[in-house]
Amino acid sequence: MIKMFVSRVSGTQRGSHDVIPLWRRGLLTLVLLLAATAAMATPASLVLNDENGKYFTGGHLEFLEDASSALSLADVRNAVYASRFQSVDKPTPSFGFTSSSMWFRFKLENRSATFKDWLLEVQYPPLDHVDVYLIAPDGSYELMRGGDRLPFDARAVKQRNINFRLHVPHGDSRDVYIRVRTDSSLQLPLVLWNVPAYLEAKEVEQHLMGLYYGISIGLLVFNLILFLSTRDKPYFYYVYYLLTYFLFQATLHGLTYEYLWPDAPGWANTALPIFMACGTIGVTEFTRSFLDVGKSFPRLNRVFTALLIVALATAAAAFIAPYSLMIRLGTLEAIVACMTAFATGLYAVVKGIKQARYFMIAWSVFLIGSILYSLKTFSVLPPVFVTEYGQQIGSALEVILLSMALADRLRILKEENERIQRQATTLLEARVQERTSELDIALQKLAEANETLRELNLTDPLTGIKNRTFFNERYAEEWRRAVRQKYPIALIMVDIDHFKSINDRYGHLCGDACIRTVAKVLQDSLRRPSDHAARYGGEEFCLILPHSDPYGVAELAEDVRRHVQDREVVFGSERLKLTVSAGVAIMLPGQEEDPDTLIADADAALYEAKRLGRNRVEIHARYKLLTMCNDERSVQALY
């Protein structure tokens, strides 16, 4: 076509003058080639359809720098400026800190039969002014303004990122022009959504943000509690650093503007460099206190003092100084502070300071994330996920690792204190070894005497079995255990029949022999370590039988009665036959049950046996049915 056009022009010229000079033909051909190349380089339209709910605009964008910030929409659409637009060669346009305004344009074509309204989202909240022009084919346009210099309610959707609603009817196309002017780093990560896809994505994003900041706040509170309990300065500076750093992160990502001060756009801008400077103060003071820089590295301590002074000055100046200057200075200070903390930690590791190990690992992770983010801010690296969220990823790991570092530091200090105490103890022991040895012997004898005294206190001197004191203590313990573990406990009350008559006829010594005989039978009848026999009082005894079935308890009581009946008591020339009466009670105790109930039931059963003629075993009426159930499953069913 170019050759045909040249030929036609050449033919026309031959008709009126002479042949066109060769150099003019060459120049005309070059101009036409450049025009064709420019037309071929124009980005394709962004086609919207029903299949996709999310579109990245990077490959469809062109940009124009407006150094004077004086161009209007009509100016940039004029042929003179329209031809100066350049294609964006990155997924996301990024220009670092610039005083120029930037114009962007792309073309939309809506082939979606479902969606006419789309949301254009700017995924970088700190931009000051973002003006979007939606131009119809007839030349009319709709102007929408956004940015963090405008009230939060001005946004199409009340969300942390700047966003605009674009109305494009089915089958229509629109030219979109965007003008951006900001004192912050200028980058324009644009994403176009249909409404359902946008809402779904933002719900997931909100959950992730909530998880990140929820964990952060939890760790902050945890370390604050540790500071209040230990009064250790590093914990205080760490809590301060966490607070300011997470406020900086929340401000950078538009969360504080959304939730804390949506009606204060001026403060939303001022807060970012202030929180950044305060974070630098936290880094400086935490590192200085954690590594004890003033004592271990006096020269480096001067560097930390200088950083602290500069950061304090920056935080104060941010209230009145230009934002563009303060954000650059704050970013530079943060880089220097992180590098200084890293270098100090490395130097401490080389010097053999133990608590510097976790510290170095934590700051290595965070430093990598911070460097990636800072290089993105200065347009050295593109604003991709790793660079955009580098500080958040690094900080999440850093918080955990620094908490471990603080715990490790306390452990090291504890071990050091213990080592000093051990040395002092060794020296003291060397001086008083003999006295200590004598004291140990005396204490051992005292312990043995106490144990013997306790055993005597719990043992009946006449029979050698346990006494009433032991019964009271052990019964209370077994009752509580039975309630807790939900198993039955049984008591057998045993009383010597006609004991008063024996005493009156044969004397108390003979009565004592009878008591010893019955005690021996009871002691020999115990089948398990958990069973206990005790002299309850006078000629009365009691057996504690935890975890017993009703039939077995009744059988044991009958065995005791029979063995006593079959045994003779030899006292001098006298040979006596004894009988006993026994009362049985068993219960599955509950929380509301009174332990005395079981004792009273066993005692009542004993007196019933006495009333019915003695030399017999009687089971309390409420438990009598249980003894008729020799099948274990039947017994369990009763409970």
Amino acid at 252: L
Among 539, 540, 558, 593, the active-site one is: 539
C-alpha distance from residue 497 to each of 65, 126, 507, 561 (Å):
117, 99, 16, 11
Q: Which of 588, 561, 321, 611 is nearest to 479 (CA)?
A: 588
Give the whole-angstrom CA distance, residue 428 versus residue 297.
Answer: 35
Q: Among this protein's residues, is 539 annotated catalytic? A: yes
Please state, in angstroms and as integers, the Cα–Cα distance from residue 499 to each residue in 449, 533, 539, following that order: 36, 20, 7
Cα(563)–Cα(579) distance, integer angstroms: 9
SS3 155: coil
For residue 440, give the amino acid letter. D
Is the Cβ–Cβ distance between 582 and 617 less than 8 Å? yes
Which tokens belong to 444? 């051992």
In angstroms, the CA 145 to CA 156 distance is: 10
Are 609 and 583 spatial neighbours (Cβ–Cβ below 8 Å)?
yes
- For residue 417, CA distances in Å to 234, 351, 359 come to 18, 21, 21
Token code pair at residue 258: 């959304």
Report which of 126, 131, 77 is spatially closest to residue 101, judged by C-alpha positions: 131
Rounded CA separation 344/277 (Å): 20
Between CA 356 and CA 481 the distance in angstroms is 50
Helix pair 390-431, 356-377: axis angle to 10 deg = 160
Of the chain, the end-to-end C-alpha distance in Å amounts to: 103
Active-site residues: which are they?
A: 539
